[in-house]
């Protein structure tokens, strides 16, 4: 069962922020024009945003003077086309242009960010096809998917919002503070005093909030883990009468999540009103002093309203700086993980001038092959055997003996450390991987079907196959009758991990896939382990027909299925300790004979 203490999370702080940032922006070199335009827009937006309150102070004072003059002379007030009208029109244009520059740079930056993410996703997709099987063996699928989805989404979101806000905030903050000091040092110092208090409170609450958020995330991960675990194991839970125990465990996890969420939400929701209270308190104090000065002529009304605009402009960046910096750090951490993935060691590239195999007969030889998952730990040593065209080669042995590893070497999923493997006398390393694997058809014990129709799944190896060819392959695999009983027959959609199909039915569809490909070499890894005895016998007949004249490798635990093999390789601890026909190995009375008689005692 899942353990909360063992749940780990990706770090949200990059190990080398500067290097990651430079590499991230180097990906934007093909978007320099857009970035220059974005930079220009940010400059104009910041300048207009900071200058507009200063300009409005003069407009307000001129407007107030004009109104007073009209009241004193008894004339009706009108703006007209005079100096005041031009100033108000200019102020309106400034506000409009500020909005235009802001939205235009936001639109362009969204385009830049999405183009960057598209570029990175293409690089990841290309990388996935170049990574060796050992990489996927050593990394969980969820971690790899996280690089492609959530990490890149976080980078995109931050580039579009956080980065622009931070750049604009810095310029706005500097400009606002400069004008505030220009208007009144005393009022500015009062504002800064309240701001320091607000930042200290925010820092204290944020620290506690991060701790509570981590607890909530851990509680959520734990609940998700046990929910998935109990759902997939529901039959076993019921069989062993652990239903009430599982319910109690889930309820406990739900209550823990509720408590953690309550604390986190309280801190999240209380900090903003608290900061707002301090901000309003500072504004109240400043307003009282400013109004006193306006009444006694020490400050004009226009300057007072401009000062309050600058307070609002400076307060928001100061309170959001911590959030924006954390957001940027998280984005850089995501980008760093993505780049680490892109820097992972790739499989050895195909030879520059690969050989081309035509009319493959299927002679396969292992010549003194050695292999280890790491150079200092060699698993296989000096493996040698030859599979002649049309022969059936069986590979048997206990769990972990190296049977699947032998097949992985043949398919070049792994590279050998010594010796060589040939097909029709040509080294597999002299062929392109695509050309090599085109000559093999595989049926694995763990079936894999993708979302799509049954016909599309059968035709996975031959997308251009006709429906008649697909049906013929299905008939050969003894799955046609079952398919025709489905609601839409061959057009039935397989989804939800093929939950509407039994394990045996899924395996039959993958067998039909191999029938359709009609390859010169066939690999069967416990291909009939999930079907009943009668179906296994029927498939065996069809397989025998399919394997006729073709080289085949069969990994089997049930030795009754490989007694007719031309050569049986008995493996132990990664090495072939016996090989020969069924009769020859029984006559030797060695390890194979012992295993065989243990099954048929």
CA pair distance 95, 49, nearest whole angstrom: 8
pLDDT at position 323: 64
pLDDT at position 499: 66
CA pair distance 411, 439, nearest whole angstrom: 10
Tokens standing for 573? 């601890």
φ and ψ at residue 235, rounded to 5 degrees: -65, -45
Nearest to 21 by CA among 322, 334, 320, 343: 334
For every residue of 101-112, DSSP letters joined together read HHHHHHHHHHHH
| CA distances for 327 relative to 14, 121, 155, 415, 430, angstroms | 12, 21, 9, 42, 49
CATH topology agreement for domains 14-183 and 364-599: no
Residues 6+ apart with CB under 8 A from 176: 50, 310, 313, 314
Report yes or no: 396 and 559 within 8 Å, Cβ to Cβ: yes
For every residue of 457-515, DSSP letters joined together read HHTTS-TT--HHHHHHHHHHTT-HHHHHTSTTGGGPEE-GGGTTS-HHHHHHHHHHHHH
CA pair distance 522, 385, nearest whole angstrom: 17
Strand-pairing partners, residue 422, are: 365, 427
CA pair distance 284, 467, nearest whole angstrom: 79
| CA distances for 193 relative to 170, 237, 278, 290, angstroms | 19, 62, 11, 17
Helix (H) or strand (E) run with residue 380 in it? strand 380-387
Report yes or no: 159 and 116 within 8 Å, Cβ to Cβ: yes
- Domain boundaries defined on the chain: 14-183, 185-298, 364-599
- Ramachandran area for residue 148 (φ above 0: left; ψ -120 to 50: alpha; else beta): alpha
pLDDT at position 28: 81
Report yes or no: 394 and 569 within 8 Å, Cβ to Cβ: yes
Tokens standing for 577? 């300790």
pLDDT at position 366: 93
Looking at the domain 14-183, which fold is it? ABC transporter transmembrane region fold (1.20.1560)
Tokens standing for 497? 């991990």
CA pair distance 128, 351, nearest whole angstrom: 19
Tokens standing for 297? 């002529």
**10 secondary structure, DSSP code:** -
Architecture of 364-599 per CATH? 3-Layer(aba) Sandwich (3.40)
pLDDT at position 176: 87
pLDDT at position 331: 79
CA pair distance 372, 526, nearest whole angstrom: 24
| CA distances for 36 relative to 21, 111, 171, 421, angstroms | 18, 13, 17, 55
Q: What is the mean pLDDT of each run of 10 residues along the chain (601 residues)?
A: 51 71 83 86 89 88 82 76 83 92 87 85 85 76 70 78 75 87 89 83 75 77 80 79 86 89 79 75 87 87 87 75 70 83 84 85 91 82 90 88 88 89 92 88 80 89 90 87 88 74 81 87 77 69 74 84 88 89 90 84 59
CA dihedral 56, 62, 68, 73 (to 10 degrees): -150
Sign of CA dihedral 68, 71, 75, 77: positive
Report yes or no: 197 and 319 within 8 Å, Cβ to Cβ: no
| CA distances for 503 relative to 308, 446, 447, angstroms | 71, 9, 8
Largest CA distance in the chain: 128
pLDDT at position 529: 65
Strand-pairing partners, residue 400, are: none
pTM confidence score: 0.66
Beta pairing, strands 380-387 & 364-371: antiparallel
pLDDT at position 444: 79
CA pair distance 380, 402, nearest whole angstrom: 8
Q: C-alpha angle 252/255/257, rounded to 5°?
A: 110
| CA distances for 440 relative to 28, 358, 413, 436, 522, angstroms | 42, 14, 13, 8, 6
How does 470-500 read in b/e, with b if 16+ C-beta sit within 10 Å? Answer: bbbbbebbbbbebbeebeeebeeebeeebee
Tokens standing for 330? 């998280």
Nearest to 318 by CA among 169, 531, 420, 203: 169
């Amino acid at each position: 069962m899942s353990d909360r203490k063992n749940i780990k999370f990706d770090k949200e702080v990059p190990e080398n922020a500067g290097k990651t940032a430079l590499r991230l922006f180097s990906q934007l070199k093909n978007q320099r024009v857009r970035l220059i335009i974005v930079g220009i827009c940010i400059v104009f937006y910041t300048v207009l945003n900071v200058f507009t309150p200063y300009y409005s102070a003069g407009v307000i004072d001129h407007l107030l003077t004009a109104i007073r003059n009209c009241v004193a002379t008894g004339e009706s007030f009108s703006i007209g086309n005079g100096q005041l009208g031009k100033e108000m029109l200019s102020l309106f244009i400034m506000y409009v242009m500020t909005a235009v520059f802001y939205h235009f740079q936001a639109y362009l930056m969204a385009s830049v960010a999405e183009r960057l993410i598209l570029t990175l996703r293409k690089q990841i997709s290309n990388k996935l096809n170049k990574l060796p099987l050992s990489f996927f063996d050593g990394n969980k699928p969820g971690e790899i998917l996280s690089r492609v989805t959530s990490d890149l989404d976080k980078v995109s979101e931050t580039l579009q919002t956080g980065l622009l806000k931070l750049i604009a905030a810095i310029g706005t903050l500097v400009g606002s503070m400069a004008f505030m000091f220009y208007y009144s040092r005393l009022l500015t110092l009062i504002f800064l005093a309240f701001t320091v208090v607000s930042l200290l409170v925010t820092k204290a609450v944020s620290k506690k909030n991060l701790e509570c958020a981590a607890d909530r995330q851990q509680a959520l991960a734990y609940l998700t883990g046990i929910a998935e675990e109990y759902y997939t194991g529901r039959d076993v839970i019921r069989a062993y009468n652990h239903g009430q125990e599982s319910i109690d465990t889930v309820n406990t996890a739900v209550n823990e999540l509720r408590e953690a969420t309550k604390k986190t939400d309280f801190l999240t929701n209380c900090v903003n009103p608290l900061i707002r209270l301090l901000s309003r308190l500072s504004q109240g104090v400043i307003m009282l002093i400013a109004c006193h000065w306006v009444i006694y002529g020490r400050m004009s009304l226009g300057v007072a309203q401009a000062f309050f605009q600058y307070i609002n402009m400076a307060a928001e960046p100061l309170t959001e700086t911590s959030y924006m910096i954390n957001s940027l750090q998280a984005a850089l951490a995501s980008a760093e993980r993505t780049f680490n993935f892109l820097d992972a060691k790739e499989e050895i590239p195909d030879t520059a001038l690969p050989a081309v195999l035509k009319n493959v007969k299927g002679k396969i030889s292992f010549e003194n092959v050695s292999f280890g998952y790491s150079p200092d730990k060699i698993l296989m040593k000096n493996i040698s055997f030859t599979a002649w065209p049309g022969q059936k080669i069986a590979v048997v042995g206990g769990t972990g003996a190296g049977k699947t590893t032998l097949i992985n070497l043949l398919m070049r999923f792994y590279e050998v450390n010594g010796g060589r493997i040939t097909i029709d006398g040509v080294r597999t390393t002299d062929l392109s991987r695509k050309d090599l694997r085109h000559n093999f058809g595989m049926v694995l014990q763990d079936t894999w079907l993708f979302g799509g129709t049954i016909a599309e799944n059968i035709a996975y190896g031959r997308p251009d196959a006709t429906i008649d060819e697909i049906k013929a392959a299905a008939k050969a695999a003894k799955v046609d009758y079952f398919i025709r009983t489905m609601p839409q027959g061959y057009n039935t959609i397989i989804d939800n991990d093929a939950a509407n199909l039994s394990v045996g039915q899924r395996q039959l569809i993958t067998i039909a896939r191999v029938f359709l490909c009609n390859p010169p070499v066939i690999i069967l890894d416990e291909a009939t382990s999930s079907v009943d005895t009668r179906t296994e016998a029927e498939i065996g007949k069809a397989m025998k027909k399919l394997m006729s004249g073709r080289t085949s490798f069969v990994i089997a635990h049930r030795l009754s299925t490989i007694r007719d093999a031309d050569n049986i390789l008995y493996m132990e601890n990664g090495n072939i300790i016996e090989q020969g026909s069924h009769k020859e190995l029984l006559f030797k009375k060695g390890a194979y004979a012992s295993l065989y008689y243990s099954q048929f005692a």
